[in-house]
Amino acid sequence: MPRNRRPQNREEKRDEIVAAATELFTGTGYDETPMTAIAAAAGVATNTIYWYFKDKDALLVAVLDRVLAEALADAGTRTDEPWSDQLLWAVERLERYSRLVTVVHARTAISPVIDAWHADFHRLAEDMLAGGFRSAGVPEESLRASIQIGVFVIEGLLLHPGSAESRREVIDLLAHPGGDRRHPPGDRTRTRSGG
């Protein structure tokens, strides 16, 4: 039963619904979370959710948008770190949302709205990888293949997590193909050619 509360504006209520869904989707799971549980956690009636979101997939997209916006804001504060550290941070951040990563991949074939979000996310991730590979000195003619390898490596790390040490080794190799891979965090002595 929804609790009595002060009147809220539409955006505040929407944000509370998205916050509740984020917590439940990441903790309990998307398929395991009924809309009634989200409504109860947000303190609204179930039908109220449908005033804001067409269906559960539309709510998932709002959750994904929120998680992505927070991650991009945090990533923006890390631009002075070595690219390998930025990649490692991104993988670790995505691991926190492994349930969301799994459900997005499972639903792209059956949900046009999730498929569209996934495609947009991949374009953004590929643009970010392109910038990182360019800064690591990857030639333009190898950039497309390097980006694909980067996507495969990151998705592989998410689907098959290993030790922190092995994850670091994989990320260092990805970030510095053919170059000097072990640099202490904050080391600025590397040149574009890897030396």
> Does one domain contain both 34 and 117?
no
Give the residue, 96 or 111, on which the prediction is more confident. Answer: 111
Q: Average per-residue pLDDT in the chain?
A: 86
> Does one domain contain both 5 and 24?
yes
> Does one domain contain both 25 and 112?
no
Task: State how far the Cα of 29 lies from the Cα of 102, in Å rounded to an integer.
Answer: 10
The per-residue pLDDT for 186 is: 44
pLDDT in tens, 161-173: 788 899 999 999 9
> Does one domain contain both 98 and 154?
yes
Residue 157 clears pLDDT 90, i.e. is over it: no
> Does one domain contain both 77 and 34?
no
Residue 106 clears pLDDT 60, i.e. is over it: yes
> Does one domain contain both 157 and 79?
yes
The per-residue pLDDT for 3 is: 54
The per-residue pLDDT for 192 is: 36
pLDDT in tens, 3-44: 555 556 888 999 999 999 999 999 999 999 999 999 999 999
Residue 117 clears pLDDT 90, i.e. is over it: yes
Neighbours of 163 (CB within 10 A): 8
H-state helical runs in the chain: 10-27, 35-42, 46-52, 56-76, 83-96, 98-107, 112-135, 140-159, 164-175
Backbone phi and psi for residue 26, each to the nearest 5 degrees, phi listed first: -80, -30
> Does one domain contain both 38 and 64?
no
Structure-block tokens of residue 94 = 């995505």
Give the residue, 185 or 102, on which the prediction is more confident. Answer: 102
The per-residue pLDDT for 6 is: 57
